[in-house]
Amino acid sequence: MCSWNADCVEEIDAQRVLGYALFKDGKNTRLSYPLEKFHSDVAGRSFHNGRFIQRMREKAATLPNVRLEQGTVTSLLEDNGAIKGLQYKTKTGEEIKAFAPLTVVCDGCFSNLRRSLCKPKVKWPANLVE
Ligand SMILES: Cc1cc2nc3c(=O)[nH]c(=O)nc-3n(C[C@H](O)[C@H](O)[C@H](O)COP(=O)(O)OP(=O)(O)OC[C@H]3O[C@@H](n4cnc5c(N)ncnc54)[C@H](O)[C@@H]3O)c2cc1C
């Protein structure tokens, strides 16, 4: 985690994690993080993902060149094969167009928007049960 957002794990009830324990068929083993050469506060953190995201949003909002808008993106606005912005719906149902030199689409693994940009072959390379 870069130091700019390290404090986003503060005040969200994040728990220090020093490794993992694996349990199977009545047997168990420990996988410790190699922390010997680091400062005593260096450790993993286990936290509620939503709280962490909210902390990062709050932090981003403090930057002078950032303005947060909330809404559901209904479509990307394309001009001559290039994405020029997007159209989104606010909580009150108002449809707004926003334009930008760069549009970053990050609407998750069930993305509807990505489908209009490419034909992704989604793979599930790993499963982790915690
Ligand atoms: C149960 C569970 C446990 C996990 N545990 C871990 C873990 O311990 N460690 C780890 O590294 N990863 C974990 N993951 C995986 C991790 O959550 C995902 O890899 C990560 O959240 C993906 O981030 P993302 O930004 O691509 O998508 P998301 O986190 O899914 O974010 C997409 C966002 O886009 C929004 N959105 C979608 N469509 C629109 C739209 N049309 N307009 C506006 N907004 C839209 C969604 O509301 C959402 O806020 C876990 C996942 C699950 C389901």
Q: What is the DSSP string of 21-48?
A: EEEETTEEEEEE---TTS-TT--EEE--
For ligand 1, mutation pick of 89, 107, 122 (most atoms within 8 Å of CB): 107
Do 43 and 10 share a structural domain?
Answer: yes
Cβ distance 72 to 88 under 8 Å? yes
Do 74 and 62 share a structural domain?
Answer: no
Do 47 and 24 share a structural domain?
Answer: yes
Q: Is 58 helix (H, G, I), strand (E, B) or coil?
A: helix
Do 58 and 75 share a structural domain?
Answer: no
Among candidates 102, 56, 98, which has minimal Cα distance to 77? 98
Mean pLDDT lowest for which of 65-74, 96-105, 120-129? 120-129
Q: What is the domain extent for residue 79?
A: 69-107
From CA 44, how far away is CA 115, in angstroms rounded? 35
Tell me: the pLDDT tens digits for 47-92?
999 999 999 999 999 999 999 999 999 999 999 999 999 999 999 9
Residue 97 reports pLDDT greater than 60: yes
Total count of domains within the chain: 2
Determine which residue's CA is closest to atom 10 belonging to ligand 1.
49
Residue 36 lies in a domain: yes
Do 86 and 27 share a structural domain?
Answer: no
Structural domain ending residue among the three candidates 45, 68, 91: 68
Query: Whole-model pTM?
Result: 0.81
- All residues at 6 or more sequence positions from 48 whose CB lies less than 8 Å from its CB, including other chains: 12, 13
Do 48 and 2 share a structural domain?
Answer: yes
Residue 100 lies in a domain: yes
For ligand 1, mutation pick of 9, 47, 49 (most atoms within 8 Å of CB): 49
Do 102 and 50 share a structural domain?
Answer: no
- For residue 27, report the distance from its CA to the centre of ligand 1, in Å: 33
Q: Which residue has the tokens 């083993």?
A: 29
Cβ distance 20 to 30 under 8 Å? yes
Determine which residue's CA is closest to atom 36 belonging to ligand 1.
107
